[in-house]
Amino acid sequence: MAKILQGIRVLDVTRYVAGPATTALLADLGADVIRIEPPGGGEDRTPLPFAEGFHGGAGFTQVGRNKRGITLDLACERGKAVFEKLLKTADIVVANLPPRSVASLGIGYERLCATKPDIIFVHLTTFGADGPYADRLGFDAIAQVMSGMTHLSGDPGRPMKNAAAWVDMSTGFIGAFGALAALRHRDATGEGQKVEANLLQTAMTVGNYFLIEEDFNHYGREGTGNRAQSGGPADLVRTKDGWVYIVALGNPMFKRFARMIGREEEFLADPRYQSDESRAEHGDALSAVTSEWSSRLTTEEALLQLAKFNIPAGPLLTPKQALADPHVVGQFLQHVEVEGLSKPVPYIRPPAKLSKTPAEIHKGPPRAGEDNEAILAEVGFTVEEIATLARDGVI
């Protein structure tokens, strides 16, 4: 079956998570994504290494999927000349570097347009291309803590960032979304364009409702641990053999919760529990009641009771347990053979499920320079020229 982005070539000048996530999503849809990294391999290959000595860590394996790879020194003039040849065959260039780095490497939008007028340039940064923070370096955690969202996590006086790189990954999704929108525009008009996204704006977009509320209500919210800020009961509570997260928001759901624990008449008359706002304000008391109820049950028993009363809930799973969950195994996991690893990699399938043009993960990440000869031959380099570039350290 033909892929929706078959025939689209993407030059991937990215590292770590946000940029590689953008290009991985495009590769899942069939684009020919060419990862460009320095000779010897990029620094983003090493985090979360495999115990068996694979050529990249777990993070690189996740977002390096479905790509071809070349090594190229973009800092030297000969490397820039090679890139120019590649650019003439490309539809999209993706970079997640500060503006000054993009300029010094010669891959700014204006420079790209001079060679390929209809090129789409996706530029991902930490803080945006303009403003006083534009050239600062940053990672996911920096955006988390500066967005206001980390302040609202954890407990008062003990803010807590999320372990997962949700800002990076969300920015990657936005980058892919922007690239597809720009492709649609180019199909209609023949024009390329620049697409920009940044980590801090992504983080603040995800939590914008908290920012809007603060601007109007001036609550000065603090962290509430695992409890929800906007209602209750909503918390992670212990059972006899584990933990369950329970969410009962809105009056109808709260009434069902009160009935489930046998305190409907008492709770519905209690002035503390008349609205989501008042229940959030007294969330610690509701969490204590919920914990007392759940402590008498196993996780399975608690979930059965919650399902009976139609109250959303889910068990706390370790990563190992999540990989073994029957729903996850049946719906989300795709095991892919990756050269160099002793067993298939448990990839999570591409997040958007398309009925006519499905995305697919068919291979793991490339080794550094794995496709140098093939890709450079495709754009007109001879065997001798490729050998010379390799000998001189350009590739």
Instruction: List the catalytic residues.
Output: 168
Report the half-sphere exposure of 108 (CA within 13 A, side-chain side).
Answer: 11
- Angle (deg, nearest 10), helices 18-28 and 166-189: 50
* DSSP-assigned beta bridge partners for residue 33: 10
Determine the Cα–Cα distance for residues 84 and 106; give it in Å rounded to an integer: 10
Determine the Cα–Cα distance for residues 105 and 149; give it in Å rounded to an integer: 34
Three-state SS letters, 71-83: ECCCCCHHHHHHH
**Element at 197 (helix H, strand E):** strand 194-198
Determine the Cα–Cα distance for residues 13 and 372; give it in Å rounded to an integer: 15
Q: Under a CB-based contact definition with an 8 Å cutoff, are residues 155 and 225 in contact?
A: yes
Q: Under a CB-based contact definition with an 8 Å cutoff, are residues 38 and 63 in contact?
A: no
**Element at 33 (helix H, strand E):** strand 32-37
Determine the Cα–Cα distance for residues 129 and 145; give it in Å rounded to an integer: 20
Q: Under a CB-based contact definition with an 8 Å cutoff, are residues 71 and 100 in contact?
A: no
Determine the Cα–Cα distance for residues 10 and 34; give it in Å rounded to an integer: 6
Characterize the bridge pairing of strands 313-315 and 9-13: unpaired
Q: Reduced to 3 DSSP states, what percent helix, strand and coil does the chain have, rounded to the nearest 5?
A: 45, 15, 45
Rg (CA), the chain: 25
- Paired tokens of 352: 């958007």
- Angle (deg, nearest 10), helices 199-206 and 208-217: 70
Amino acid identity, position 79: G
